[in-house]
Structure 1
Amino acid sequence: MDKLSHQSQNEVTRPKTIGYLMSRFPKISETFILYEILELERLGLNIEVFPLIRQSESVMHPEAQAVVARAHYSTVLSFAVFVTQLYWLKTRPRAYLSSWWHAVLGNWRSRKFLLRACVIVPQAAWIAREMQSRSVQHIHAHWATHPALAAYVAHKLTDIPYSFTAHAHDIYVERPMLEEKIRQASFVVTISDYNRKLLQQLYGIVAADKVLVIHCGIDPAVFHQPAPKPSSNTFTIVCVASLQDYKGIPYLVQACAHLKAAGIQFRCMLIGEGEDRPEIEKQITQLGVANEVVLLGHQQRSQVHQWLGQADVMVMPSIVTGSGKQEGIPVALMEALAMEVPVVATEISGIPELIEPEQTGLLVPQRDGHALATALLRLYHSPALGRQLGSAGRSKVLGEFNLLKNTESLYELLTQDWSVPEAETQIHQASPSAPHINNNERSVKA
């Protein structure tokens, strides 16, 4: 009896194992996933990482190296993946064939998504088998598109409950199978109230019963108040963003041209990399700001911290593209405000949930280089306004966009037993140790 009791106690105290799915890893522009994983592990969970694609990056955060070393990568055209298809055909034929049926039926309108689904299903079958062998008790995916499909298939094959986080263009542009993914999930997290309202408008009660808000966040121990900057006549602008269309970098370059024409001595440091770099370099030359605008490429988190410590302002000139692609709430804005750097951003998607106009930052219309320049000139001529906005912004971030607090909210959800019917009612209840979950708003506030 003592031996059995000891075994039972070990089962109770053993950390819960969560299978984490994402599209690409390690991806330097998606470090919020890396630091969420590390924080969940610090809270006591065992995280098994299953990227769909091994991302090759020229720059990698040091903390990612250990996670990459233990991540479970797969290649679709491999013997191991082929064998798992036979395994599921033999052991769970209806579930396996049903997964294919739903994936094809749910993606047939988009050739791109249909072809990707034909890769995801066999890959997810392999992942499902690996998760079984590693005693995974819950699956959580980041992004509502391919990773959520992989989680959906793994759930159908193994009955392991799953959830996913919806961010931005994964729900703004194309939404294959999204209603079915939400319906079958134990819960769905999204990073802004803007997103939650969008999903409720699209899917009604299905989304209302499952979707809640947990903001992304920053580690206040890393992005803290900097030492006072030495006085300088050069106004330093920093922008941390990938060089892609929806980031709106050309409008920041236009704003820089306006500043130069106004006789302002400044420098603009662009941190990030992307497919639009050649066009941006050409624009910088054409507008005559090559001496002021510097493309720094990818930078590690410690280097971003150093640049923000020198910044007079952080700019995020994001736009909504013709296809509907746009930001969620950029973590880079949170990092800047945590360091009391004033922010100028565009008034799109969930950004106003972080940047309250004239309170925690300045908001301008999208696609308007002149409006960006006007806001920057305000901060250039009024350092006191910048200090006021930065201080209020830091308070906002520490209260609502804090990685440590917000990951605790996710931890509370992941550690529930979703295999019992009563668990779904718990999504609308706050335990004494957890942040309040508002039953009307379905929003977790840290």
Structure 2
Amino acid sequence: MSRFPHLPETFILREMLEMENLGWEIALYPLVVQKQPVSHPAVSKFEARAHRLPFISGTILFANFSELIRHPIRYFRIFGSIIHGNISSVKFLIRALAVFPKCVLMARLMKKEGIQHIHAHYATHPALAAWIIHQLTGIPYSVTAHAHDIYVEKPMLGTKLRDAAFIVAISQFNRDYITNYLGNSIREKIHVIHCGVNPDDYSIHQENTSDNVFHVLNIGSLQPYKGQKYLIRGCASLVKQGIPIHCTIIGGGELKDELAALISSLHLEKTVELAGARTQEEVAEMLPRADCYIQPSIITPSGKMEGIPVSLMEALVCKVPVIATNISGVPELVQDQKTGLLIPPENEEALVTAIQTIYNDRMKASEMAENGRQLVLREFSLISNVQKLASLIQESMTTPISN
């Protein structure tokens, strides 16, 4: 993975925990080990065993020198492939060159540790690290493709995915996207395995009778592609119409000050709350109290957008009515008028209309939420989806490892 711990990537933590429940032993090789002010309690289970490797050190230099002396042709072939494959993006090239020396040491450590399979989350630098280690050791690897890692910049994407033992796409949309980009020959290697939630971790939504306020919730890092500004503006329109709405936005990020300024300019200090980052347990406690969950995501000019936000799964498993924008794989979960309401991105008017629909027709909203819960139980179960991943990994390990 790119970073550990990383609060927005709770789905990776959940996957690792469930893999261990199935009897697998997990070794953790993040490219960056970081400290965060808020982290999930379960992180402590993996912190002690996360390999904390700097980008450069005496040990890393020695590992690279040793590899260069023992296998010079292989070393320069991999190094040359990295330069050639990332030359189209200065940002990717710099990061790839920074990651390469560390990966040489990772390869040595993985061989010593007896690692039999590498799984990389995201097709960017985590997949590059897995590819480098595979080239050095022969250990098979797989990649989960999520969203911006395949939608935006794509240096070496074909190489990283074609050489993988298998590819996991978190949506059918992603499978089609990769196939269209790389050709039909790769399609059979791609397996759709949704991210998932454990229903036992959540409570069912109960109608709020303590006040007359319509409680709206949004969860996500405060970044442009999350589209929270459209939700805030929508709240302003609803307040003008006399709807007693209160909106809580959970998450931290680069747009915190900008969104706070927008809230202030629209005089929504008592209506919209920026609640900051919260743990998984806090989110699970807050979700059932919401009357509606809203995911107003957009597609940025660079092409960055959501995959299928896990927060939508969390809301639906709580039987909370949802509204989301019709982008990427979201319609595979939020089926318009059946499991929730879909609206076009960057369309404040459509968002306001959708909120009014949920507010005015609670019976219809509850019916859609129940349908959504049943869909999550069938297709977005953490346990069954991790079992699918484990089966694919087990199959890949039957192939002999060559050095």
Fold match (TM-score > 0.5): yes
Q: Please tell me whether residue 23 in structure 1 is matched to residue 7 in structure 2.
A: no
The answer to whether the aligner puts 1:266 opposite 2:251 as a matched pair is no
Q: Take 2:340 and 2:205, find their aligned partners in 1: how far apart are those partners? A: 18
* Contact 1:182 1:210 (8 Å CA) reproduced: no
Q: Is the 8 A contact 2:202 2:285 kept in 1?
A: no
Separation in 1, partners of 2:205, 2:342: 24
1:94 maps onto 2:73 in alignment: yes
Equivalent residue for 1:151?
130
1:380/1:359 CA distance change after superposition, 3 Å:
same
After TM superposition, which residue ranges in structure 1, 4 or more long, deviate above 6 angstroms? Answer: none
Paired positions, count: 400
Q: How does 1:152-301 map to 2 (within 5 A)?
A: 152-226=131-205, 229-301=208-280
- 1:73 aligns with 52
CA distance in 2, matches of 1:383, 1:226: 13
CA drift of 1:309 comes to 1.6
Mapped to 2, the partners of 1:288 and 1:229 lie a distance apart of 25
Q: Distance in 2 between the 1:122 and 1:168 partners?
A: 27
3-state DSSP of counterpart to 1:328: coil
Closer, same or farther: CA 354–90 of 1 in aligned 2, 3 Å: same
- 2:354 paired residue number: 375
Provide the rounded CA distance (Å) in 1 between the counterparts of 2:144 and 2:13.
Answer: 14
1:418 Cα deviation after fit: 4.2
Partner of 1:51: 30
90, 96, 100: which one pairs with 1:121?
A: 100
Q: 2:392 aligns with which of 392, 413, 431?
A: 413
Shift of residue 94, structure 1, vs aligned partner: 2.4
Q: Which deviations, in whole Å up to 9, do the C-alpha atoms of 1:326-373 show, x marking residues without a partner? A: 000000000000000000000000000000000000011100112111
- Equivalence for 2:110: 131
What residue number does 1:35 align with? Answer: 14
Quote how far apart the aligned CAs of 1:420 are: 2.9
Gap regions ≥5 residues in structure 2: none
Report the Cα distance in structure 2 between the residues aligned to 1:178 and 1:317, rounded to whole angstroms. 29
Cα distance, 1:416 vs structure 2: 1.5
State the Cα distance separating 1:66 from its structure 2 match.
1.8
**The 10-residue stretch of structure 1 (229-238 or 214-223) with the greater mean CA deviation from structure 2:** 229-238
In 2, Cα distance between equivalents of 1:261 and 1:361: 25
Whether the 8 Å contact between 1:243 and 1:275 is mirrored in structure 2 is yes
The two structures have a TM-score, normalised by structure 1, of 0.88
TM-score (norm 2): 0.97
Q: Is the CA contact 2:322–2:369 (under 8 Å) kept in the aligned structure 1?
A: yes
Q: Following TM superposition, by how much is the alpha carbon of 1:55 offset from its aligned partner in structure 2, in angstroms? A: 2.4
Q: What's the CA shift string for 1:147-206, capped at 9, x where partnerless?
A: 000000000000101111010000000011011111111101110100100111111134
CA RMSD of aligned residues (A): 1.2
Check whether the contact 1:161–1:419 (CA below 8 A) recurs between aligned residues: no
Larger displacement relative to structure 2 (49-58 or 400-409): 49-58
Of the candidates 371, 376, 379, which is equivalent to residue 392 of structure 1? Answer: 371
Q: Deviations over 1:198-229 (max 9, x none)?
A: 11111113421321210000011102424554
> What does the per-residue CA deviation read over 1:399-427, in whole Å, with 9 as the maximum and x for residues that have no partner?
00110010000000111244638xxxxxx
2:336 equivalent to 1:357: yes
Distance of 1:288 and 1:37 partners within structure 2: 43
1:312 corresponds to which of 278, 283, 291: 291
Distance 2:80 2:63 in 1: 18
The answer as to whether partners of 1:186 and 1:418 remain within 8 angstroms in 2 is no
Change (3 A) 1:316 1:417: closer
* Aligned 8 A contact 2:103 2:133 in 1: yes
Question: Which structure is higher in RCO with an 8 Å CA cutoff and minimum separation 6?
Answer: 2
Per-residue deviation, residues 101-130 of structure 1 (Å, max 9, x unmatched): 111100001110010010111111111111
Q: Does 152-161 or 216-225 show the bigger shift?
A: 216-225
- 1:23-82 C-alpha deviation (Å, 9 max, x unpaired): 011100001000100100110111100000112211000001121121112101211111
SS in 1 for 2:217: strand
User: Are residue 347 (structure 1) and residue 326 (structure 2) matched?
Assistant: yes
Alignment equivalent of 1:104, drawn from 62, 76, 83: 83
Task: Name whichever of 328-337 and 282-291 sits farther off.
Answer: 282-291
Which one of the candidate residues 316, 324, 330 is aligned to 1:337?
A: 316
Distance 1:229 1:84 in 2: 61
Percent identity over paired residues? 44
SS of the residue 2:108 aligns to? helix
- DSSP-derived class of the 2:29 partner: strand
Q: Which secondary structure does the structure 1 equivalent of 2:391 belong to?
A: helix
